[in-house]
Chains A and B, each alone.
Chain A
Amino acid sequence: MDSFISLIQAAVVFGTVIMFGAVGETLTEKSGNLNLGVPGIMYLGGIASLTGAFFYESAVASPNAILCVLIALVCGVGASMLGGLIYSFLTITLRANQNVSGLALSIFGSGVANFFGGSLNKLAGGVGQISVASTSAAFRAQIPLLSGLGVPGRIFFSYGFMMYLAIVIAILMQCFFSYSRAGLNLRSVGENPATADAAGINVGRNKYLATCIGAGISGLGGIFYVMDYTKGTWANDGTIEKLGWLAVALVIFTRWKPKNAVWGAYLFGMMYWLYFYISGLTRSTQELFKMLPYVVTIVVLVLVSLRKKREDQPPEHLGLAYFREDR
Chain B
Amino acid sequence: MAIRLENITKTFGTVHANHNISMEIRRGEILSLLGENGSGKTTLMNMLSGIYYPDAGQIYVDGREVSIRSPKDAFDLGIGMIHQHFKLVDVFTAAENVILGLPERGRVNRRTVAKKVREICERYGFEVDPNQKVYDMSVSQKQTLEIVKVLYRGANVLILDEPTAVLTPQEADKLFAVMRRMRADGKAVVIITHKLHEVLSVSDRVAILRKGEYVGDVPTREATELSLTEMMVGQKVSLNIDRPEPVNPRRRLSVEHLSIVNAEGVKVLDDVSFECNSGEILGIAGISGCGQRELLEAIAGLQREEPGSSIKYYPPAGGEEELTLCTPRQIRDHGIALSFVPEDRLGMGLVGGFGMSDNMMLKDYNNGHSFFTDRTRPRELAARIKEDLAVQTPDLITPVRKLSGGNVQKVLVGREIAAAPSVLMTAYAVRGLDINTSYTIYRLLNEQKKKGVAVIFVGEDLDVLLELCDRILVLCAGRVNGVLDGRSAKKEEVGLLMTNLNKKGEGAA
Query: Chain A: residues with CB nearer than 8 A to chain B?
Result: 179-182, 184-185, 187-188, 191-192, 194-201, 310-311, 313, 316, 324-325, 327
> With A181-B99, A188-B100, A188-B101 known to touch, is A195 a contact of B89 (CB < 8 Å)?
yes
- Residues of B near A316 (CB, < 8 A) are 90-91
- Contact across chains for A184 and B96 when beta carbons are under 8 A apart: yes
- Contact across chains for B100 and A199 when beta carbons are under 8 A apart: yes
Q: In this complex, what residue of A is CB-closest to B74?
A: A200
Question: Which interface residue of B51, B89, B108 has the most chain A CB atoms within 10 A?
Answer: B89
- Residues of A near B90 (CB, < 8 A) are 191-192, 310, 316
CA distance A191 to B90 in the complex (A): 8
- Contact across chains for A188 and B92 when beta carbons are under 8 A apart: yes
- Contact across chains for A181 and B106 when beta carbons are under 8 A apart: yes
CA distance A188 to B49 in the complex (A): 19
- Residues of A near B88 (CB, < 8 A) are 192, 195
Can you report 20 A-B residue pairs in the complex whose CB atoms are below 8 A from each other? A179-B108, A180-B108, A181-B99, A181-B102, A181-B105, A181-B107, A184-B96, A185-B101, A188-B100, A191-B91, A192-B87, A195-B100, A197-B70, A198-B71, A199-B100, A200-B75, A200-B101, A310-B90, A313-B91, A316-B90
Chain B residues numbered 60-90 whose CB sits less than 8 Å from any CB in chain A:
70-72, 75, 81, 83, 85, 87-90
Query: B52 at the A/B interface (Cβ < 8 Å)?
Result: yes
- Residues of A near B52 (CB, < 8 A) are 325
Contact with A along B468-491 (1 / 0, CB 8 A): 000000000000000000000000
CB within 8 A of B87: which of A179, A181, A198, A324? Answer: A198
Closest 6 pairs between A and B when the two form their complex, measured CB to CB: A199-B101, A200-B72, A195-B87, A201-B101, A200-B101, A198-B87
**Sample of 6 further A-B pairs with CB below 8 A, known A185-B101, A192-B90, A200-B102:** A181-B99, A192-B88, A196-B101, A197-B51, A198-B81, A324-B51
Query: B104 at the A/B interface (Cβ < 8 Å)?
Result: yes
- Contact across chains for B401 and A188 when beta carbons are under 8 A apart: no
Dominant secondary structure of chain B at its interface with chain A: loop
CA distance A179 to B107 in the complex (A): 6
- Count B-side interface residues using an 8 Å CB cutoff: 30
In the assembled complex, how far is the CB of residue A30 from the closest CB belonging to chain B, in whole angstroms? 12
- Residues of A near B105 (CB, < 8 A) are 181-182
Chain B residues numbered 80-139 whose CB sits less than 8 Å from any CB in chain A:
81, 83, 85, 87-92, 96, 99-102, 104-108, 133, 135
- Contact across chains for A185 and B51 when beta carbons are under 8 A apart: no
> With A181-B102, A182-B105, A327-B402 known to touch, is A188 a contact of B83 (CB < 8 Å)?
no
In the assembled complex, how far is the CB of residue B104 from the closest CB belonging to chain A, in whole angstroms? 6
In the assembled complex, how far is the CB of residue B14 from the closest CB belonging to chain A, in whole angstroms? 16
Contact with A along B384-421 (1 / 0, CB 8 A): 00000000000000000110000000000000000000
- Residues of A near B101 (CB, < 8 A) are 185, 188, 196, 199-201
- Residues of A near B81 (CB, < 8 A) are 198
- Contact across chains for B71 and A197 when beta carbons are under 8 A apart: yes
- Residues of A near B99 (CB, < 8 A) are 181, 184
CA distance A219 to B51 in the complex (A): 37
- Contact across chains for B70 and A191 when beta carbons are under 8 A apart: no
- Contact across chains for A192 and B51 when beta carbons are under 8 A apart: no
CA distance A180 to B96 in the complex (A): 11
- Residues of B near A191 (CB, < 8 A) are 89-92
In the assembled complex, how far is the CB of residue B76 from the closest CB belonging to chain A, in whole angstroms? 9
CA distance A181 to B85 in the complex (A): 24
- Residues of B near A192 (CB, < 8 A) are 87-90
- Residues of B near A185 (CB, < 8 A) are 100-101
Q: In this complex, what residue of A is CB-closest to B53?
A: A325
- Residues of A near B85 (CB, < 8 A) are 194
- Residues of A near B70 (CB, < 8 A) are 197, 200
CA distance A191 to B101 in the complex (A): 14
In the assembled complex, how far is the CB of residue B223 from the closest CB belonging to chain A, in whole angstroms? 31
CA distance A192 to B83 in the complex (A): 14
- Contact across chains for B100 and A201 when beta carbons are under 8 A apart: yes
> With A196-B100, A201-B101 known to touch, is A310 a contact of B91 (CB < 8 Å)?
yes
- Contact across chains for B71 and A199 when beta carbons are under 8 A apart: yes
